[in-house]
Amino acid sequence: MKLTPVSIDIAKSVFQVHHVDEGTGEIVNKPIKRAKFLEYFVNRMPCQIGMEACGGAHHWARQLTKMRHQVKLMPAEYVKAFNIRSKNDATDARAIWLAVQQPSKAVAVKTEMQQAMLALHRVREQLVKFRTMQVNSLRGLLTEYGEVMGRGRAALDKAIPEILGRISERLPAVLADTLREQWNGLAMLDKQIADIERRMREWAKEDKAVKAIKEIPGVGLLTATAAVAMMGEAKAFRSGREFAAWAGLVPRQTGSGGNPFLYRQNT
């Protein structure tokens, strides 16, 4: 059965829907409020629905799939080539409608658990960056008072109690107390990062794909969980080479006039 192509330009409050009415041939391009969005599709015959892989797309793809629709998520860079007019909701929806009918590699719809794992990775990355910023800030502030430490976190943890005790008498109390609080805050960040990694290990024990990838030499917890969460359904890749290209483990290529040029590896 041929599915009717329908495109959706999703947003925060109002979604733009574009399709051609099968009965009348009329082009439908209209906005739908968020609260009425699923109602529009609940009683329709199964459609081929195209959306850009942007914020909220995986959630709506899961909901529409439950209604027996076939959902294709596409990178925004791919859809952009089909918009030859001024950019607005209506033309964006039309561009998605044109793109969904072309052969292309779709973005796999992620499960809620896969998205949860990606969220853990993002939160962990933020905490690690904040911890590094806090360590560097402590080093910089203490340097202004003639106190320096060796490289690395271990050197800081070893030296800072003695340093704070030594200079607290000659520093303004407000600064000494603040520096002590900042140092104590590092332990809290360490605990938050460790808790996230513990939750990742718990998921890794239950997920067969993560356990399989961890068997590869050099692949640890973070790489394995991120790879499984990012790829979605592994069956979407026809071969390991295709997965490597998707992951950016190949040189970028351009060419003109029969002269190909390979850039450096993407990652």
Total of domains in the chain: 2
Using the 3D structure, point to which of 100, 135, 163 is the last residue of a domain.
100
Secondary structure, 3-state, the chain: CCCEEEEEECCCCEEEEEEECCCCCCEEEEEEEHHHHHHHHHCCCCEEEEEECCCCHHHHHHHHHHCCCEEEEECHHHHHCCCCCCCCHHHHHHHHHHHHCCCCCCECCCCHHHHHHHHHHHHHHHHHHHHHHHHHHHHHHHHCCCCCCCCCHHHHHHHHHHHHHHHCCCCCHHHHHHHHHHHHHHHHHHHHHHHHHHHHHHHHHHCHHHHHHHCCCCCCHHHHHHHHHHHCCHHHCCCHHHHHHHCCCCEEEEEECCEEEEEEECC
- Of the pLDDT bands very low, low, confident and very high (cuts 50, 70, 90), residue 1 is low
Instruction: Please report whether residue 43 resides in a domain.
Output: yes
At 200 the pLDDT is: 94
Q: Are residues 95 and 8 in the same domain?
A: yes
pLDDT in tens, 250-262: 787 788 887 888 8
Instruction: Please report whether residue 175 resides in a domain.
Output: yes
Q: Are residues 96 and 116 in the same domain?
A: no
Its domain, for residue 37, covers 4-100
pLDDT in tens, 26-54: 999 999 999 999 999 998 899 999 999 99
At 266 the pLDDT is: 57
Instruction: Please report whether residue 124 resides in a domain.
Output: yes
